[in-house]
C-alpha cells in the first residue's frame, strides 16, 4: 500500500529521461551517463584530455584543495539534478548518492576522501523552506550513512539570502557568494579535513566561499566533491 502510494507521488520513472524504469537510471541513461574519468584537473575536476593544463578553472586562486566530480553537467546527469531540485523526484537522491560513493571508491580518489567530516553546501533557510529540502544535504546524508563519514552540516551556514547563481556571469557569481558562509562552531572544524559536497560545480565560487569560511575557522584541508561539472558556460572566468 505504502509503496503504491509512493509510486503515485514519485512515479517509477528514470530520473534521467522520464521513461518508466525499475532502476532510478534506466539502462540507456546509465550507458550514456557523461562521467568524468582521469585525467581530470586536480583543482576543479574538469576533464583534461590530452591538454597540458586545465582550460576551465582558476587554478591556485581556489581556496579549496582539490575537486572530484562524478560527471559533466549534461544529458541524464543534468536532468536527474534538475528533476530532483525542481520536481522533487526524490528517487534521484539514492541514484546520485550511489554515483558519489562509486566515485569515492575509485582508488585514485582515496587520498581525497579520507576526511573527518562531510558538509553539504548549505542553502539559506528561507530557500530551504520554499524548496522543502536541500538536495545536496539529502545526498550527503546517504553518503555519510553508507561510508561512515560524520555528517557535519550543522557547522556551516549561509549568512545571507542572495539571488540564485543561475543566469549570472562568472564575475557576478564570485561577487554574489563572497562572505556568504559562516562556520557555526569553529572549534569543531579546527584541524579537521572536510569534504564539501554540492550538486553542480560551475565556476567554483560557491565551493570557494565555503572553503574560505572553513579555512578561516582553522580547517586543515577542504576538498570539494561535485556531482556534475559544468564546463560549457561562456563566462566561466
Ligand atoms: Zn533514462
Ligand atoms: Zn581545472
Domain spans, the chain: 35-229
**Under 8 Å between Cβ of 205 and 176:** yes
- Residues, CB within 5 angstroms of ligand 1 (ion): 14, 16-17, 26, 29
Kindly give the parts of the chain with pLDDT less than 50.
233-237
Q: So what's the pLDDT on residue 208? A: 96
Q: pLDDT tens, 181-204?
A: 999 999 999 999 999 999 999 999
Q: Ligand 2 centre and the CA of 48: distance in Å?
A: 8
Looking at the CA of 30, name the nearest ligand: 1
| Geometric angle at alpha carbon 140, from 199 and 60, rounded to 5° | 55
Q: What is the CATH number of domain 35-229?
A: 3.40.50.2020
> Strand, helix or coil at 166?
coil
For 64, the grid coordinates are: 579549496
Beta bridge partners of 69: 226
Q: Ligand 2 centre and the CA of 10: distance in Å?
A: 37
Q: So what's the pLDDT on residue 236? A: 43
| Geometric angle at alpha carbon 15, from 228 and 107, rounded to 5° | 45
> Strand, helix or coil at 210?
helix
Q: So what's the pLDDT on residue 185? A: 95
Tell me phi and psi for residue 100, to 5 degrees.
-65, -45
Looking at the CA of 46, name the nearest ligand: 2
Looking at the CA of 22, name the nearest ligand: 1
Q: So what's the pLDDT on residue 12? A: 87
Q: Ligand 1 centre and the CA of 205: distance in Å?
A: 31
- Residues, CB within 5 angstroms of ligand 2 (ion): 41, 43-44, 46, 54, 57
Amino acid at each position: 500500500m505504502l509503496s503504491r502510494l509512493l509510486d503515485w507521488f514519485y512515479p517509477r520513472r528514470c530520473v534521467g529521461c522520464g521513461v518508466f524504469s525499475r532502476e532510478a537510471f534506466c539502462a540507456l541513461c546509465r550507458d550514456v551517463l557523461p562521467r568524468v574519468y582521469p585525467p581530470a584537473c586536480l583543482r576543479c575536476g574538469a576533464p583534461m584530455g590530452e591538454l597540458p593544463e586545465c582550460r576551465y578553472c582558476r587554478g591556485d586562486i581556489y581556496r579549496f584543495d582539490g575537486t572530484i566530480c562524478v560527471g559533466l553537467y549534461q544529458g541524464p546527469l543534468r536532468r536527474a539534478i534538475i528533476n530532483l531540485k525542481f520536481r522533487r523526484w526524490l528517487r534521484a537522491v539514492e541514484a546520485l548518492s550511489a554515483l558519489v560513493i562509486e566515485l569515492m571508491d575509485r582508488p585514485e580518489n582515496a587520498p581525497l576522501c579520507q576526511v573527518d567530516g562531510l558538509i553539504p553546501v548549505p542553502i539559506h533557510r528561507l530557500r530551504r523552506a520554499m524548496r522543502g529540502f536541500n538536495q545536496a544535504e539529502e545526498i550527503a546524508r546517504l553518503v555519510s550513512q553508507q561510508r561512515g563519514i560524520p555528517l557535519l552540516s550543522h557547522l556551516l551556514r549561509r549568512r545571507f539570502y542572495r539571488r540564485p547563481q543561475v543566469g549570472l556571469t562568472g564575475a557576478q557569481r564570485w561577487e554574489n557568494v563572497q562572505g556568504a558562509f559562516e562556520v557555526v562552531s569553529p572549534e569543531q572544524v579546527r584541524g579537521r579535513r572536510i569534504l564539501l559536497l554540492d550538486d553542480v560545480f560551475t565556476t567554483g565560487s560557491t565551493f570557494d566561499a565555503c572553503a574560505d569560511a572553513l579555512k578561516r575557522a582553522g580547517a586543515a584541508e577542504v576538498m570539494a566533491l561535485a556531482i556534475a561539472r559544468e564546463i560549457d558556460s561562456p563566462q566561466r572566468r
